[in-house]
Structure 1
Amino acid sequence: MRQLLFPTVVLALGCAFQSNADGTSSGGEAIFAAHCARCHGVDGKGGGPAAASLKTHPADLTRIAARRGGIWPMLEVMSIIDGYTKSTNPRQDMPVISELSAGPMVEFDTGNGIVTLIPARLIAVADFLESIQFPKPERYVP
């Protein structure tokens, strides 16, 4: 995990993303597959089955850091995913996924020493997106 997250988050996330009682995973990859792959594709490159019907072609999510000079912008990515900051929402047809706000909250250092509670599922999806970056991020900003 990056330095942005406190060690207690590692334990919390480990517990939060185990299988649910119904046997389904609530981890970032599973959430992405359930809510994002339809448009962004299972590989995150924007070629999902619903992509052709959208007004704006879905972004290639494997190149977020590359488009930002090798920097992984964690807060910006979380803001786009959760839809709270509409100024960073790339298009109108990007849905807000209410499931991301459900479940456990974990501490997250926003980069200025201020710790705030963030939904663990939101962090999990952002972490999954970081894991599929090509090339891998060279630097990180909160």
Structure 2
Amino acid sequence: MDELVRMPNDQEVALAAEELGLAMVDKCDELAKKLFGQFTNDADSASQEIAKNADRSRRELHLELTKLRIRRAANMDLGGAVIAARTAGATWEQVGAACRSSRQAAYERWHKVVRKFEDARRKAEQLPMSVRDQGDPGSKPPIDALYELRHADPGDGG
């Protein structure tokens, strides 16, 4: 007896793959926070509170680099993690170190995807700003300032 077994179509497989990818990213985030929490729990609670309040951006940077290292070790796609790390302020040298490569190799591999993301975000940020933000020169996101600095001298090479 030949019974036909219904196979999932390409769209169903694509949706399942997307769900798996999101679950993997969520699990990576969970594991990185757990690892990062274990690392920061070694300090006493008073110094933890000071560090937590005084240096959130630095903590975010280290958390994103930890996520990048986990993804690399798990052979996951690193593009999104590189974007997150760069957005948190990571240098190409830090990205390269997290991926066990050189600054130049990291730049060559991911600078286009990061630039594409930055361009899309910049385009989205061209929406009308609130009155409070219009006259505030400090309201520019750090990644935009970094982008302008890195691309001011075309001979820099990244």
Question: What TM-score do the two structures reach when normalised by structure 1?
Answer: 0.28
With a CA cutoff of 8 Å and minimum separation of 6, indicate the structure with the bigger relative contact order.
Answer: 1
Q: Report the structure, 1 or 2, having the larger strand content.
A: 1
Q: Which has the larger radius of gyration?
A: 2
**Structure in which a larger fraction of residues adopt helix:** 2
TM-score (norm 2): 0.26
